[in-house]
A and B are shown apart, each in its own frame.
Chain A
Amino acid sequence: MTTPLLTVDNLKTQFFTEDGTVRAVDGISFDVYPGEIVGLVGESGAGKSVATSSILRLVDSPGEIVDGTITFKEKTLFGLEAGPDGEPRPSEEMLTEEEMRKEVRGREIAIIFQDPMESLNPVFTVGGQLREFIELNRDLPTEEAKQEAIDMLREVGIPDPENRYDEYPHQFSGGMRQRVLIAMAIACRPDLIIADEPTTALDVTVEGQILELVAELQEKYDTAFIWVTHDMSVVAEICDRVNVMYLGEIIEQAHVDDLFYNTKHPYTQALLNSIPRPDETIEELDPIKGVMPEAINPPSGCRFHSRCPEAREVCQRVHPEPRDLSANDRPHNAACVKYDVFDVGYDASPPLETDATGGFSAGLTQTESEAEADGGDR
């Protein structure tokens, strides 16, 4: 393959709150190559949005990128080096805030947010907002930027763009607004577009249309995408390669076909089980048990062990780093000690009782607590 467009290496982003340090992104690494669509999947709270805002260096306070390197086309978006006192400090090559704003945001990397209803400014016209970003990121004079904005609106399928240019966001439906946000991203001609759950707020038919539109535009402009979603069916439809995130970590990383047909990680498997697939029956549908723990105090060992159906005692102790388990020439990384390469004695380890192991013991626990509640009433 060619050289990556974007390389994220061991990125760590934390929020310093009163309750403690939230390890929202805890050492993730992935690449994006020119023109491909890379998925970032995981349940809500996995750290997907924090990861994407870290790439643009727009993490909300009290959050901060504390470690790692982000490289985009030779540019260091984030990097640390050892200072004279031994403390890490921003490296020489790291872009300044000014450079990030002028050279990267919008111009090189554009973003589409989740909420099309809130993302547009209610008091400015849709066209005016689009034109402003085009003017700023393509150095076009106002008139040309306006023409470009109208062309872009037409291209994303907004009927009568000359007139709708002067309308306000509240006059657009949710789907139409999301098209406008897509127009904004494409119109700035970036090499990478980050789409942070752009269809989550839309209903399924509109979602389908938007996905189709994006696939079309992606082909035409050959833009790379990071597609953030919690929905595996969207991943199947649109992504080339996928990163599965759980509690701040990437636990599986593979080509989309390998991920679906040669799933390695139990969490990925659980995500897949929770969506309807044409080759499965409804009875096999199976939502993930339990809730994701807090990112303030992540569980020891494998972070998924509290919900993993295959968890064993060793999973509590050993924290697996992703390893290549590929069966073909495409890399396929997963972080699960049940594979022999980890060699930590999984097979010999006794099974662990978890939210997901269910069956007799889980039923028993539940009955016990209910009995207790009854007793309390009496």
Chain B
Amino acid sequence: MGLARYTLWRVVQAVPVLIGIITITFFLANQIPGDPVQTMLGPNPGQEQVEAIQARYGLDRPIHERYLSYLSGVAAGNLGLSIYYDRPVLEMIMLRLPVTLLLMLSAFAFAIATAIPLGIISAKRRNKPADHVSRIVSLIGVSTPSFWIGLVLIIVFAFYLGWFPARGLVLPWADPADVRGAETQFQVIRTAAHHLFLPMIALGTLQMAQITRIERSAMVDSLQGEYVKLARAYGVPESTIVRKHAFQVAQLPVITIIGLGLSTALGGAVLTETVFEIQGMGRLIITAINNQDYELIMGTTFMFGVAYVVGVIITDIAYAYIDPRVTYGDET
């Protein structure tokens, strides 16, 4: 099986998982005590009003019927209507998802770009001062919650120093007319980067710390490998050994931790968005839960599920790409 077919196979395999996610969220969401109609109409609504609303959102039908129609809706790309926003759920998600993706991607870019060199330096200079510094930094990193880092960053860099804005996010592709103080697209991008900086670090620090630790230990192992000894004995320069021979092998555990990190970072993103008042998926899901907006709860949870599954698939594919020992499902 080639890599392309393997990818397709993994995607197909993900379908039952996604159906499972939908099923669980559907029934869980419907178990939340309280009633969205009540939330909307206040404590003493008129009977007609209630019936009208229930009919509009399909709440008058039996639950198994609603479940089946929701499933077929999802299959057709329709996630239903948000009661709270009074707009299609998919539209709300499309509005918010890019914000969260931007935050996640920049956090991971920051984490990977700093962690890999740090981990390698640490491994190369094992038990020397540079290694101790990097190990202490990553120990602090893995043991500090992202919202706390976010708060400290806001206090220091936004309030005291005033170097970065404390709240909100600007999308780099936004129209300059919509962004205060920006006239050209370039200025928009600059404003976006400016806004992104603190939340990116708040969310990325944990990942950075985790990746650094794994990179270090994987490189330490790899540098002690027999194949590294062999390369040295054949006159391969040390820099090539580190960059190529040892590095390539050491990336396997690193990829796994990055893949796992993608899912933990989703949780971190919810908190980070709250701390920095960013209108992303995290805020959306909280709004949905607070307002018992069934369809929006299901839609956002489903999207988180999809993101998780995509993370796993990307990890598997990257793994298969780098490690030739991974067989693509068949042993022929």
Contact = CB atoms under 8 A, between A and B. Distances in A.
Interface residues of B, number: 19
A58 B245 CA distance: 17
A124 B235 contact: no
B233 A111 contact: yes
Contacts of B245: 121, 124
Contacts of A115: 226
Interface in A94-147: 101-102, 104-107, 110-111, 113, 115, 118-125, 132-133, 136-137
A302 interface: no
A184 B322 CA distance: 24
Interface string B290-332: 0000000000000000000000000000000011110000000
B226 A110 contact: no
B234 A106 contact: yes
B232 interface: yes
Interface string A183-205: 01000100000000000000000
Given A121-B249, A123-B249, A110 B227 contact: no
Interface in A159-194: 168, 170, 181, 184, 188
A227 to B, nearest CB: 16
Contact of A136 (B225, B226, B234, B249): B234
A101 B324 contact: no
A115 B226 CA distance: 8
B235 A136 contact: yes
A170 B236 contact: no
A174 to B, nearest CB: 14
Contacts of A121: 225, 227, 231, 245, 248-249
Given A124-B248, A137-B235, A119 B325 contact: no
B233 A58 contact: yes
Q: Do most interface residues of chain B lie in helix, strand or loop, or is the interface mixed?
A: helix
Contact of A113 (B229, B322, B325): B229
Given A123-B323, A170-B324, A113 B235 contact: no
Nearest to A104: B235
Nearest to A107: B235
A58 B234 CA distance: 11
Interface in B230-256: 230-237, 245, 248-249
Contacts of B230: 111, 113, 119-120, 181, 184
A133 B234 contact: yes
Contact of B324 (A58, A110, A137, A168): A168
Given A122-B249, A123-B248, A188 B234 contact: yes
Nearest to A111: B233
B235 A106 contact: yes
A24 interface: no
A121 B323 CA distance: 11
A70 B234 CA distance: 19
A56 interface: yes
B19 to A, nearest CB: 36
Given A123-B322, A168-B324, A118 B227 contact: yes
Contact of A168 (B225, B232, B249, B325): B325
B252 to A, nearest CB: 8
A251 B16 CA distance: 70
B234 A184 contact: yes
A105 B325 contact: no
Contacts of A107: 235
B325 A102 contact: no
A119 B245 CA distance: 12
Nearest to B222: A121
Interface in B253-301: none
Interface string B200-233: 0000000000000000000000000111011111
Contacts of A118: 225-227
Contacts of B322: 123
A133 B227 CA distance: 12
B233 A105 contact: yes
Nearest to B238: A101
A113 B232 contact: no
Contacts of A184: 230, 234
A136 B234 CA distance: 8
A112 B323 CA distance: 25
Contacts of A102: 235
Contact of A105 (B226, B232, B248, B249): B232
B324 A119 contact: no
Contacts of B248: 121, 123-124
Contacts of B235: 101-102, 104-107, 136-137
Contact of B325 (A110, A122, A136): A122
Nearest to A102: B235
A135 to B, nearest CB: 10
A110 B236 contact: no
A189 B124 CA distance: 32
Contacts of A122: 227, 249, 323-325
B41 to A, nearest CB: 62
Given A120-B227, A123-B322, A168-B324, A110 B233 contact: yes
Contacts of A188: 234
Interface string A53-80: 0001010000000000000000000000
Given A120-B230, A124-B245, 18 more contacts: A58-B232, A58-B233, A101-B237, A105-B233, A105-B235, A113-B229, A120-B227, A121-B225, A121-B231, A121-B248, A121-B249, A122-B249, A123-B323, A137-B235, A170-B324, A170-B325, A181-B230, A184-B230
24 contacts: A58-B229, A58-B232, A102-B235, A105-B234, A105-B235, A106-B234, A110-B234, A111-B233, A113-B226, A113-B229, A119-B227, A119-B230, A120-B230, A121-B225, A121-B245, A121-B248, A123-B248, A124-B245, A132-B236, A133-B236, A136-B235, A136-B236, A181-B230, A188-B234
Closest 4 CB pairs of A and B: A106-B234, A118-B226, A168-B324, A105-B235
Interface of B: 225-227, 229-237, 245, 248-249, 322-325
